[in-house]
Amino acid sequence: LTLDQIRRLRTHMLRVTREQDLELSTAALGWVYFEKLIWKGYVVKDNRKLIAGKMQWHILYCCLSDTIELSILDQEFDVFAQLEFSLWVPRHEFMPHFARMFEAIGLYRSYEDYLGNIEFYACKLHA
pLDDT of the residue at 125: 41
pLDDT of the residue at 69: 55
pLDDT of the residue at 113: 76
Residue 57 φ/ψ, nearest 5 degrees: -50, -45
- Using the Cα atoms of residue 18, residue 19, residue 23 and residue 28 in order, give the sign of their dihedral: negative
Q: Alpha-carbon Rg of the chain, whole angstroms?
A: 15
Q: HSE-up of 35 (CA within 13 Å, CB side)? A: 15
| Maximal CA-CA distance, the chain | 44
Domain boundaries, the chain: 3-115
pLDDT of the residue at 86: 74
Tell me the angle at which helices 70-82 and 24-39 cross, rounded to the nearest 10 degrees: 70
Low-confidence ranges of the chain (pLDDT < 70): 50, 53-75, 117-127
pLDDT of the residue at 60: 53
Mean confidence (pLDDT) of the chain: 73
CATH number of 3-115: 1.10.472
Q: HSE-up of 51 (CA within 13 Å, CB side)? A: 27
